Amino acid sequence: MMAATFKCQPTGLHGLPIDASAPRSSTNFVRFFSMRFACNTRSNKLRHVHASISHASLVDPTPLSTSHDSSTESALILIRHGESFWNEKNLFTGCCDVPLTMRGVEEAIEAGKRISYIPVDMIFTSALIRAQMTAMLIMTQHLQKKIPIIIHNESEESTTWTQVYSEKTTKQSIPVITAWELNERMYGELQGLNKQETAERYGKEKVHQWRRSFDIPPPKGESLEMCSHRAVAYFKDFIEPQLKSGKNVMVAAHGNSLRSIIMYLERLTSQEVVSLELSTGVPLLYIYTEGKYMSRGSPVGPTEAGVYAYTQSLAVDRRQLDEMSP
């Protein structure tokens, strides 16, 4: 049987069938899957909320373009993972792969309610379980009712063996791309140490420098600057093109990888970023339009009084979702 996505595959992709053309490099990989899933995420206008009744001709792939299309407007949701077991214990975590506490699970569910009416076409998470759990829990609350599916490209087999053979199922899915580049800053020899005890040992000021300065790395770890080299480069290479092509993207990552991305989005200086703190499980919304990012703060839940929608097109999306809900 032929994979459902095959039908939607753009012809320009080396002119090869989907399995044979599956790219090995991460650059091509994201482009590849974004095209593959473009079948069900044609635009940010939620034209396919009724995907099951959409005609196949409506689901042509969205070509990725690196040049800006002034008519596109897309939503970018950034979220730091919910509380992890090491957040709870006040330990430096960095790249250690620690899961969420129950409180972290609840934070993620609450975050999901708050963004439940903002369309999501693609999800990027770090390679760490706390960010992935957060993304998945968020999507359990989403009014789109699409199912987030992690895309695996570890080997040729994993790409082939995770193929989906139903176009209908593909339309009801959201691709989740995991990337180590979005991981938390590597905290070196501080990983696993208690933050309070470390401050008592090395002095509050030194530890604050390690934790919040832009360019002073913790012992054998990454400074925020070093972390930003990989996180912001990844954002520019893989996430920004999706926004440019009109897709709504959620990024579930970490305090410092997101601080570096926000520094880029908001053009913060290395002094300004020192005081940028992100709470666990609080979604932040940006609207990408005309090549610029506009911060829209943290969305309130659909039942709370507050901004109904943040742009005209998001208001249309939300009305459609309201009409769909029982």
Ligand X SMILES: O=C(O)[C@@H](CO)OP(=O)(O)O
Contact flag: residue 82 with ligand X (CB under 6 A): no
3-state percent helix, strand, coil for the chain, nearest multiple of 5: 45, 15, 45
Q: Considering only residues 208-227, where is the footprint of ligand X by CB under 6 A?
A: 211
The binding site for substrate consists of 80-87, 93-94, 130, 184-187, 195, 211-212, 255-256
Examine the residue annotation and report whether 81 is marked as an active-site residue of this protein: yes
Instruction: Select 170 or 257, whichever has its Cβ closest to ligand X.
Output: 257
Considering only 4, 46, 51, 94, the residue that binds ligand X (CB under 6 A) is: 94
Q: How far is CA 111 from CA 27, 77, 251, in A?
A: 30, 11, 13
Q: How far is CA 325 from CA 82, 144, 174, 320, in A?
A: 27, 9, 19, 9
Pure H helices in 22-101: 26-38, 85-88
| Residue 237 Cβ vs ligand X, minimum distance, rounded to whole Å | 24
The region of 40-48, 88-96, 110-118, 306-314 touching ligand X under the rule CB under 6 A is 88-96
Considering only 101, 144, 223, 256, the residue that binds ligand X (CB under 6 A) is: 256
C-alpha 197/C-alpha 73 separation (Å) is 47
Residue in the shown chain whose Cβ atom is closest to ligand X:
93
| Residue 285 Cβ vs ligand X, minimum distance, rounded to whole Å | 22
Examine the residue annotation and report whether 14 is marked as an active-site residue of this protein: no
What is the token pair recorded at 126? Answer: 């770090």
Residue whose token pair is 């076409």? 121
Instruction: Kindly report the backbone phi and psi dihedral angles of residue 240, in degrees, each rounded to the nearest multiple of 5, phi listed first.
Output: -60, -40
Considering only 87, 101, 125, 132, the residue that binds ligand X (CB under 6 A) is: 87
Given a contact cutoff of 8 angstroms between Cβ atoms, the answer to whether 278 and 255 are in contact is: yes
Residue whose token pair is 């950034």? 78
The region of 50-58, 86-94, 102-110, 114-122 touching ligand X under the rule CB under 6 A is 86-94
C-alpha 51/C-alpha 49 separation (Å) is 5
The region of 8-16, 89-97, 174-182, 225-233 touching ligand X under the rule CB under 6 A is 89-97
**Parallel, antiparallel, or unpaired for β 147-150 and 122-125?**
unpaired
Considering only 32, 117, 187, 235, the residue that binds ligand X (CB under 6 A) is: 187
Per annotation, catalytic residue among 73, 167, 184, 240: 184
Instruction: Select 34 or 101, whichever has its Cβ closest to ligand X.
Output: 101
Radius of gyration over every alpha carbon of the chain, rounded to an integer in angstroms: 20
The region of 12-20, 40-48, 92-100, 107-115 touching ligand X under the rule CB under 6 A is 92-100
Contact flag: residue 318 with ligand X (CB under 6 A): no
Contact flag: residue 93 with ligand X (CB under 6 A): yes
What is the token pair recorded at 43? Answer: 């635009």
Sign (positive or negative) of CA dihedral 297, 178, 244, 5? negative
Q: Which positions are annotated as active-site residues?
A: 81, 184
Interacting residues toward ligand X by CB under 6 A: 87, 92-94, 184, 187, 211, 255-256
